[in-house]
Homo-oligomer: A and B are copies of this chain.
Amino acid sequence: MTPTDKSTDESTDGLDVVHQLRAVTVELDLFAAEFAHRNGLHPTDLRALICLLDAARARRPCTPGSLGARLGLNSAGTTSLVDRLERLGHVRRTRDPRDRRRVLLEVDERAVALGEAFFGPLIAQVAEAAAQLAEPELAAVRRFLTGVLEGVTARREDG
């Protein structure tokens, strides 16, 4: 509503950015679904692999319980998810020697390769978009995404 700038009329309240962000997530979602389907996975399976790879990267042990909680599945659903991933050779179950109730999930190289096949094109694409921006602009994008992430996460946690 400030007529002092030369952009469109919805530029100041960020509504258009909301719309864009939503469009991006929809497309990324469909992209993920198609990739998953081509590789004999369900969208949930792919999301699970991403979580597992994240955990592995951060040297964080991952269990069926933590995975299911992250994905919003109950224990029965989580068991069949892990069964599926194990059957496909993406993950192995190991008993935690410290607490033998727990099962530790270890990702196989196969899953790592799949993750790279999924993220490769995406990384190239985003990197290309990022390369169009000067460094201070990229920093702004980073700050923006961080803000959105923290906000949504917080909003999700208190419902």
Give the residues in chain B near A99, CB-CB below 8 Å. Answer: none
Residues of A76-115 at the interface with B, using a CB-CB cut-off of 8 Å, are none
Main secondary structure of the interface of A (DSSP, over half): helix
State how many copies of this chain the complex holds.
2
Return the chain B residue nearest A12 by Cβ. B135
Q: How many residues of A contact B (CB 8 A)?
A: 62
Is A116 an interface residue when CB atoms closer than 8 A count as contact? no
The answer to whether the Cβ of A1 comes within 8 Å of any Cβ in the partner chain is no
Q: Is A121 at the interface (CB under 8 A from chain B)? A: yes
Min CB distance A106 to B, Å, is 22
A117 within 8 A of B: no
Q: Which of B24, B50, B141 meets A26, CB within 8 Å?
A: B50
Cα of A128 to Cα of B17 in the assembled complex, Å: 11
A151 within 8 A of B: yes
